[in-house]
Structure 1
Amino acid sequence: MAPLVPSQNEIANFARRVLVTAAPALIHSHLWPRNDDLKVRGAQGVTLGVIAAYVVIIALLWNIPYVRYVLWPFKMLVIAFHEFSHAITACCTGGRIESISLDPHEGGVTHMRGGWSALTLPAGYLGSSIIGMLLTFCGFDIVASKVASIVLGVCFLLTLWWGKKDWLTILTILISVGFLVGFWFVAHAEPLRFYVLFIGVMSSLYSVWDICDDLIFRKVNSSDASQFAKRYGGSSQCWGVIWSIISILFMAVGIIAGIAAFPETWAQQEKDSQGFAPTM
């Protein structure tokens, strides 16, 4: 059984393959893929169908009483992304993280000192949307999903360090990492691709639905958008709508980039996966 961590050569070859495939499409079309690059092929058609199914399933489960608890573990996971985005942005703008905690009632909080609030406040929603965009992009390819799972593992470890005193944070992260590792060993990590894709779609749409819950239906005064409006003007609903639109655009970019970058067939993806940190 080979180790899960790929070698530097494997990572370099994967990065080269993405650049060779996607870069010409972006450069020759002035940073936008040509129609030929966006032709949906067999594997991509299945991926788009799965994304559409995920959107419908998540929307239904989100609003059906009692049944909505099926999404609870994934909600906690994307909340972890949300809080991680607050934390990493605070660190990058001179702040200090004291702790991260997840609440059983589907909430979370990041205690920090310092940092630039103009960036740290919207970073939760926009950061998790960027993560969702990248995971959606990687969900179009098995090898890309393997790379994404490694990056996710690093992010989880950082979140676990900041939230090491919160049992729910620890449990959520350990279960998520367990799925990531487990799917590596099934059918050359093909299920990993759909798991990464689901997390990407969930993370992208969670920002939109959570903003709607907080600002339109529940009108929670302590939301990030409310705090941002108090400090920098405007209304919380206005900022919430703007952040929601940006989140949807991020997801669209991830889908378009995935179509342009990964035209390989199922057979080619499986072959590439067997050559990149193989596990079976």
Structure 2
Amino acid sequence: MAPILYTRSEMAYLARRAAITLGPAIVKAHLNTRALTVRGAQGVTLGVMAAYIVLIAILWNIPYVRYVLWPFKMLVIAFHEFSHALAATCTGGRVDSISLDPHEGGVTHMRGGNSAITLPAGYLGSSLIGILLTFCGFDIVASKVASIVLGVCFLFTLWWGKKDWLTVGTILVAVGLLVGFWFIAHAEPLRYLVLFIGVMSSLYSVWDICDDLILRKVNSSDASQFAKRYGGSSQCWGVVWSIVSVLFMAAGIVAGIAAFPETGAQQKNDSEHFAPTM
């Protein structure tokens, strides 16, 4: 086939048409690339997250020193039980009580609800809460909003767990920390606290799933009950839920980078005008 030859004017016309056709796609791709570019404040956040992960991993395995993490472990367990309770309430069930165990356990007494949702809700719910907090930890104002939402969740948890002293104590300490950090330097340290709680919740959820359901079999776990009702094995469901939790973590980090491109100075300025405290 003979080659098709175009005049200079025809080439210019084709070039303009290509620009009109592909221009929006090129601009969109460019914007998406810029949105996922790690800038100064985002780099600091990612660095702090990495430091948190290393610190948590070290403290987790040192005898006696590991008790430094105990209050935060209990808080994550409270997230776990709150997720059970919320899922039960949303699917027509009734929550009688929530209680925490000082040996890093907890139980939600509930009646009714859709077990296909309430059983995995503990692991996946606490993981989702963790990554939402991590997402908000990329920005000061978002961390303020997250602390308000946490406060509402804590009120429900207190209502359901009002008969258990450990649940009440854990929630009150968490609320005290959030309120105290809100009043320091226009809540700038608050985002690092929210970020730490988010990272801790995400890591603990994944580790709890792996420890209970994959590395060792716990007959009374949520996954074992789920397997009895819906088939499969607890280890299988543990793998599935842990993969989902890891995907939650990855999605939350990417979303945080894309959603909060502001510099540290811009974040401080925005925080001074959003529910200011100083």
* Interval of TM-score (by shorter of Structure 1 and Structure 2): 0.7 to 0.9
Q: Tell me the equivalent position of 2:86.
A: 88
Q: Tell me the equivalent position of 1:134.
A: 132
User: What is the aligned-residue RMSD (CA, Å)?
Assistant: 1.8
Mark the structure with the bigger radius of gyration.
Answer: 2
Deviation at 1:112, TM superposition (A): 0.3
3-state SS of the aligned residue for 1:34? helix
Q: Tell me the equivalent position of 2:107.
A: 109
**Which sits farther off after the overlay, 229-238 or 94-103?**
229-238
2:217 matched to 1:222?
Answer: no
Q: 1:260 to 1:229 in 2, by over 3 A?
A: same
Q: Structure 1 length as normaliser, TM-score?
A: 0.87
- AA aligned to 1:206 is Y
Q: Tell me the equivalent position of 1:73.
A: 71
Residue 56 of structure 1: which of 54, 57, 63 is its match? Answer: 54
Q: Tell me the equivalent position of 1:187.
A: 185
Deviation at 1:131, TM superposition (A): 0.7
3-state SS of the aligned residue for 2:100? strand
- AA aligned to 1:125 is Y
- AA aligned to 1:195 is L
Cα deviations by residue, 1:134-153 (Å, 9 ceiling, x for unpaired) = 11110000000000000000
Q: Which runs of 5+ in 2 are unaligned?
A: 1-24
Determine if contact 1:78/1:206 at 8 Å carries over to the other structure: yes
Determine if contact 1:184/1:279 at 8 Å carries over to the other structure: yes
In structure 2, what is the Cα distance between the partners aligned to 1:85 and 1:200?
15
In structure 2, what is the Cα distance between the partners aligned to 1:276 and 1:189?
10
In structure 2, what is the Cα distance between the partners aligned to 1:158 and 1:28?
48
Determine if contact 2:214/2:238 at 8 Å carries over to the other structure: no
Deviation at 1:28, TM superposition (A): 9.8
Q: Which runs of 5+ in 1 are unaligned?
A: 1-26
Count of residues in correspondence between the two structures: 253
Q: Tell me the equivalent position of 2:8.
A: none
Q: Tell me the equivalent position of 2:159.
A: 161
Cα deviations by residue, 1:153-175 (Å, 9 ceiling, x for unpaired) = 00001000000000000000000
* More contact order relative to length (CA 8 Å, sep ≥ 6): 1
In structure 2, what is the Cα distance between the partners aligned to 1:213 and 1:108?
16
3-state SS of the aligned residue for 2:32? coil
Determine if contact 2:213/2:235 at 8 Å carries over to the other structure: yes
**Which sits farther off after the overlay, 74-83 or 221-230?**
221-230
Deviation at 1:212, TM superposition (A): 2.0
Cα deviations by residue, 1:67-91 (Å, 9 ceiling, x for unpaired) = 2211100000010000000000000
